[in-house]
Amino acid sequence: INLNMIYLKTPEEIALLRASNQLVGKTLAEVAKHIRVGVTTLELDKIAEDFIRSNGAVPGFLDYGGFPNTLCISVNDQVVHGIPSNYALKEGDIVSVDCGTLLNGYYGDSAYTFCVGEVDEKVKKLLKITKESLSLGIDSAQHGNRIGDIGYAIQKHCQAAGFSVVRKLVGHGVGRNLHEDPEVPNFGKRGQGVLLKEGMVIAIEPMINMGNRDVVQEKDGWTIRTIDRKPSAHFEHTIAIRKGKAEILSTFDYIEEVLNNK
């Protein structure tokens, strides 16, 4: 990694990144309202696109590298980068919804894995542990620590629960570009890797598998799924590094308000 490629953000830029990321959180909450048995992932995509545009922003993933939609929607054994389709959600599915926005020149990026109806206890545990690991990763993401501290915290928590960490895909810097340096792996060693500095903005996004950590890409050229077809979970926040605890620029608050009232 070329350290010169890591852009430290000013407070003004962080305010713009916060606004874009808050819109992602609100968009995911709109999607959450509509997640139920029978809804197609393409219907969810349309809801998100309309909401983002009505808020003066542009979908961040649409046309990014040729991606055809607003959301990446990945069901069950799909890990990330699933393409919305006519697939109708079924009782017991888990569905990772990853959303990006571009607002006033700055990107937002956040993801949440939802349950459809009643989900198997072991799968629920996978979601719980993955979400907890994101919080632990964020706790480690402080000025003066290193990238490896983040991955270490995530990996330790997930492996202790018997789950595995996807290694082929990683988190990333966020700014005027959706994907900036540094890479943010969900595995690592304490004290190793890029030094974290106040003003860095990164997306931390554990992708955690119930079974084998290996993944493959489907023939559609996008969808990543587990090699053993067991389920995978994905949660993502975009954060700003500070001295002390990082500031979470994205939010799950709006999503969880919806889920708690369902």
Selected range binding Mg ion among 6-14, 16-24, 91-99, 141-149, rule: CB under 5 A: 91-99
- Backbone phi, psi, residue 50, to 5°: -60, -40
Q: Tokens at residue 45, please?
A: 């995509």
Considering only residues 185 through 214, tell me which ones interact with Mg ion, judged by CB under 5 A.
203
Determine, following the binding rule CB under 5 A, whether residue 109 of this chain makes contact with Mg ion.
Answer: yes
Nearer to Mg ion, 96 or 209 (CB): 96
- Residue 244: burial class (beta carbons within 10 Å; 0-12, 13-18, 19+): exposed
Which amino acid is present at 119? V
Q: Taking the C-alpha atoms of 160, 161, 167 and 171 in order, what is their torsion angle to the nearest 10 degrees? A: -100
Cβ–Cβ under 8 Å, residues 150 and 125: no
SS3 185: coil
Number of residues near Mg ion (by CB under 5 A): 5
Determine, following the binding rule CB under 5 A, whether residue 180 of this chain makes contact with Mg ion.
Answer: no
Nearer to Mg ion, 140 or 250 (CB): 250
Nearer to Mg ion, 45 or 98 (CB): 98
Closest distance of CB 176 from Mg ion, Å: 15
Determine, following the binding rule CB under 5 A, whether residue 127 of this chain makes contact with Mg ion.
Answer: no
Selected range binding Mg ion among 52-60, 101-109, 188-196, 219-227, rule: CB under 5 A: 101-109
Determine, following the binding rule CB under 5 A, whether residue 98 of this chain makes contact with Mg ion.
Answer: yes
Nearer to Mg ion, 104 or 177 (CB): 177
Size of the chain in residues: 262
Question: Which of 199, 198, 210 has the alpha carbon at shortest distance from 243?
Answer: 198
Determine, following the binding rule CB under 5 A, whether residue 28 of this chain makes contact with Mg ion.
Answer: no
Determine, following the binding rule CB under 5 A, whether residue 30 of this chain makes contact with Mg ion.
Answer: no
Determine, following the binding rule CB under 5 A, whether residue 241 of this chain makes contact with Mg ion.
Answer: no
**CA 16, CA 3: separation in Å to the nearest integer?**
23
Q: Tokens at residue 174, please?
A: 């966020």
SS3 2: coil
Nearer to Mg ion, 89 or 134 (CB): 134
Please identify which residue in 31, 111, 134, 194 interacts with Mg ion, judged by CB under 5 A.
Answer: 111
Closest distance of CB 184 from Mg ion, Å: 9
Determine, following the binding rule CB under 5 A, whether residue 24 of this chain makes contact with Mg ion.
Answer: no
**CA 6, CA 184: separation in Å to the nearest integer?**
12
- Site for Mg ion, rule CB under 5 A: 98, 109, 111, 203, 236
